[in-house]
């Protein structure tokens, strides 16, 4: 590794905007951070996936406590309201300033303080002139950064506008060429205040929030509608609070912006690596990058909480490699849960030939994705030697290559979670021991805690899965569920030493709610009981030619027959082996008898056979050959009553 200057930083967010903040006092006399070229700033922002960089150092102005030097991701300088608020909170925590301070920015001095009303950091803007109106729906206002504000009629229009296309067109228009371009926002009023989306120059894309844009929008809205000189502005990243006063000369002063800010992560970057590389390449094209990992490198397993979508309700597992010393910083997440999408994806999905592959992405991107989804992620650091770490990293590097990345996904036996065991077995060889024991649970048992909060998904899985899913899982079989793998890791060893470090588990993304889904009312079971009761009533009441009875039996027969056809197709035409030989066929396919015309002599005999098959299902369900729930048993009874061949003999109906 190169002995070059390494820069410590913290990554912060201010209502959705992300920044790298550097304490420049640590490098005084060593490096003049003000002279960093735009290209260097651009590459750091690309590497850290942030909107800009903020350098804090001593101001030459006596009245200022600090100089806040904000650089956009393209290297240009501007005043950033959200960045200044985040910098104040950072500086307060680092002991650089007290409860209030004065910061020097590129446009002048700004007071910063804590807003007790909202319990968030605030920054005061320079006095703002009156907005300039272009037409009925467009305004210009400079709030430290120039802003073009376009009014839209409602939130639907705001949501549908392509802000990147619309914004870039105005940003580069001749009207603003003398200013070096302009920030562009779309604005509408909502019941809770204002809603705003902003395309930022320097970032050249939409950002989750923009402080100077929120101030511009608030003042423009006030100039149109009046009211109290304060506004709440809703942006994709959260809420911002703006307060101001009229200065009596057509402008505004005492302008304050307030909003949330928080630290996301910490790291170290190398200026030499950025000067030499000028770009950040994917890991799979860095030859033997694993050989350069320092002895400080850590490998950890990331386990996420269940998501709301059907494909994510069981959680997720990935592996992280983090080296704070290597240049450029190695902090990557390897994910075996990536779809290999192609034109025949849906066909392959239906027949059970699912191609997944290994992919890699920077940790900050993985972390942001789960923050956006509101899902928690816990990290377990592995107790591996530097040699073992390089072995695992080398295997991942090999596995990441295009020709090696794809594998055939199998839900119970080969997925993102079980691949962790494969990873250790292949990379560490005989040194790795799973030490797993049978839990006595079936594969279906493993699903129950995660589908209990989604009754219809539970009903669908109980119906579609066959007897193979009710077999006792082998040792480590539980590991197809990410949470179970997380537990199993504590029993695993490498060269007889525990795989996990002691007391190492922590959250890298906090889960706001419960990790597992909460109990939900079993609607499918209630519905099936209700339908069965209806079937019994219409069957055993002596009603001839009852139109409701006929319609109800017809619906039961159609739905059951279609479900039976699905099970039959899953068995005969797909590789979904866990759905094969499903005994739910014993109550679904008999419903086809209903469609045999009455004129056929053998319909009565067929009805008897169909009814007996339904009864056989109910008998088998008692012996638990395959899991049968109350809902499924009720469905079987409904089909039995639909095909019942003794209705005329029992004087239940007249001629059918």
At 115, give phi and psi (nearest 5°).
Answer: -90, 110
Chain segment 173-213, per-residue pLDDT in tens: 988 989 889 999 999 999 999 999 999 998 888 999 999 99
- Nearest-5° angle of CA 367, CA 372, CA 377? 40
Reduced 3-state DSSP string for 512-534: CCCCCCCCCCCHHHHHHHHHHHH
Query: Which of 287, 357, 362, 373 minimizes the C-alpha distance to 329?
Result: 362
Q: Which residue ranges make up each domain of the chain?
A: 6-122, 128-250, 281-438+474-509, 523-643
Contact 264, 253 (CB under 8 A): no
How many CB atoms within 10 Å of residue 22?
22
For 181-185, which contacts have Cβ atoms below 8 Å and span 24 or more sequence positions? 182/140, 182/146, 182/147, 182/148, 183/145, 183/146, 183/147, 183/148, 183/210, 183/212, 183/213, 184/147, 184/148, 184/150, 185/147, 185/148, 185/149, 185/150, 185/210, 185/213, 185/216, 185/217
CA-to-CA dists, residue 342 to 76, 347, 579, angstroms? 41, 10, 25
Contact 19, 50 (CB under 8 A): yes
Among 45, 68, 210, 476, which one carries the catalytic annotation? Answer: 210
Contact 640, 613 (CB under 8 A): no
Residue 649: pLDDT band (50, 70, 90) is very low
Q: Kindly give, in sequence order, each residue whose CB lies less than 8 Å from that of residue 319, ignoring residues fewer than 6 positions away.
A: 299, 300, 301, 302, 333, 334, 392, 396, 420, 423
Cα R_g (the chain), whole angstroms: 32
Mean pLDDT of 378-397: 95
Contact 499, 383 (CB under 8 A): yes
Among 45, 50, 68, 80, which one carries the catalytic annotation? Answer: 80
At 447, give phi and psi (nearest 5°).
Answer: -80, -30
Chain segment 414-437, per-residue pLDDT in tens: 999 999 999 999 999 999 999 999
CATH architecture classification, 128-250: Roll (3.10)
Q: Does domain 281-438+474-509 have CATH number 3.90.1720?
A: yes
Q: Do domains 6-122 and 281-438+474-509 have the same CATH topology?
A: no
Report the predicted TM-score, pTM, of the whole model to 2 decimal places.
Answer: 0.57
Chain segment 445-492, per-residue pLDDT in tens: 999 999 988 899 999 999 999 999 999 999 999 999 999 999 999 999
Contact 75, 38 (CB under 8 A): yes
**H-only helix segments in 316-385:** 345-351, 363-373
Q: Is 354 helix (H, G, I), strand (E, B) or coil?
A: strand
Residue 3: pLDDT band (50, 70, 90) is very low
Under CATH, domain 6-122 is a member of which superfamily?
Diaminopimelate Epimerase; Chain A, domain 1 (3.10.310.10)
Mean pLDDT of 318-345: 77
**Angle formed by the axes of helices 211-225 and 81-93, to 10°?**
130
Q: Is 136 exposed, middle or buried (0-12, 13-18, 19+ CB in 10 A)?
A: exposed
pLDDT averaged over every residue in the chain: 87
Mean pLDDT of 243-255: 94
Reply yes or no on whether 210 is catalytic.
yes
């Amino acid at each position: 590794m190169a002995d070059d200057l390494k820069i410590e930083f913290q990554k912060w967010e201010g209502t959705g905007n992300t920044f790298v903040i550097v304490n420049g006092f640590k490098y005084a006399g060593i490096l003049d951070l003000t002279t960093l070229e735009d290209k260097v700033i651009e590459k750091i922002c690309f590497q850290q996936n942030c909107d800009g960089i903020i350098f804090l150092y001593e101001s030459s102005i006596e009245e200022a406590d600090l100089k806040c030097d904000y650089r956009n991701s393209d290297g240009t300088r501007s005043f950033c309201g959200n960045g200044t608020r985040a910098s104040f909170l950072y500086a307060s925590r680092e002991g650089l300033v007290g409860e209030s301070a004065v910061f020097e920015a590129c446009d002048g001095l700004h007071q910063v303080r804590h807003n007790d009303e909202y319990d968030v950091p605030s920054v005061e803007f320079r006095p703002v002139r009156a907005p300039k109106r272009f037409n009925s729906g467009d305004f210009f206002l400079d709030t430290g950064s120039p802003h073009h504000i376009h009014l839209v009629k409602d939130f639907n229009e705001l949501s549908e506008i392509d802000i990147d296309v619309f914004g870039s067109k105005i940003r580069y228009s001749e009207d603003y060429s003398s200013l070096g371009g302009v920030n562009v926002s779309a604005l509408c009023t909502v019941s809770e205040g204002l809603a705003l989306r902003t395309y930022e120059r320097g970032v050249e894309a939409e950002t989750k929030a923009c402080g100077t844009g929120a101030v511009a929008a608030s003042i423009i809205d006030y100039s149109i509608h009046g009211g109290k000189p304060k506004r709440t502005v809703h942006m994709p990243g959260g809420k911002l609070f703006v307060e101001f006063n009229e200065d009596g000369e057509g402008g505004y002063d005492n302008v304050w912006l307030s909003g949330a800010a928080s630290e996301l992560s910490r790291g170290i970057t190398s200026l030499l690596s950025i000067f030499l590389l000028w770009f950040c390449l994917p890991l799979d094209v860095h030859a033997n990058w694993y050989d350069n990992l320092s002895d400080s490198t850590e490998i950890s397993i990331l386990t996420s909480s269940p998501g709301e979508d059907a494909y994510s309700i069981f959680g997720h597992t990935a592996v992280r490699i983090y080296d704070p010393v290597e240049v450029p910083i190695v902090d990557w997440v390897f994910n075996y849960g990536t779809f290999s999408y192609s034109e025949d994806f849906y066909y392959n999905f239906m027949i059970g030939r699912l191609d997944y592959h290994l992919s890699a992405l920077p940790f900050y991107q993985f972390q942001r994705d789960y923050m956006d989804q509101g899902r928690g992620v816990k990290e377990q650091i592995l107790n591996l030697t530097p040699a073992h770490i390089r072995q695992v990293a080398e295997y991942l590097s090999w596995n990441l290559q295009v020709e090696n990345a794809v594998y055939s996904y199998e839900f119970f036996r080969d997925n993102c979670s079980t691949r962790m065991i494969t990873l250790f077995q292949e990379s560490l060889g005989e040194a790795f021991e799973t030490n797993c024991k049978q839990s006595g649970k079936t594969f279906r048992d493993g699903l129950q805690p995660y589908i209990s909060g989604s009754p219809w998904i539970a009903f669908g899985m109980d119906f579609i899965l066959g007897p193979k899913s009710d077999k006792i899982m082998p040792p480590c079989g539980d590991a197809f569920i990410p949470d179970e793998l997380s537990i199993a890791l504590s029993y695993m060893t490498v060269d007889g030493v525990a795989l996990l470090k002691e007391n190492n588990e922590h959250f890298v993304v906090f889960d706001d709610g419960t990790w597992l889904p909460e109990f939900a009312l079993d609607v499918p079971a209630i519905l099936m009981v209700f339908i069965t009761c209806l079937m019994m009533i219409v069957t055993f009441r002596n009603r001839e030619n009852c139109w409701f009875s006929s319609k109800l039996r017809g619906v039961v027969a159609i739905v059951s027959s279609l479900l039976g056809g699905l099970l039959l197709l899953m068995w005969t035409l797909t590789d979904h082996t866990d759905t094969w030989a499903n005994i739910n066929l014993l109550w679904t396919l008999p419903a086809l008898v209903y469609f045999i015309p009455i004129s056929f002599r053998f319909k009565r005999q067929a009805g008897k056979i169909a009814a007996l098959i339904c009864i056989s299902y109910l008998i088998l369900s008692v012996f638990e050959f395959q899991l049968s729930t109350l809902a499924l048993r009720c469905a079987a009874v409904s089909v039995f009553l639909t095909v019942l061949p003794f209705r005329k003999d029992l004087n239940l109906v007249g001629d059918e």
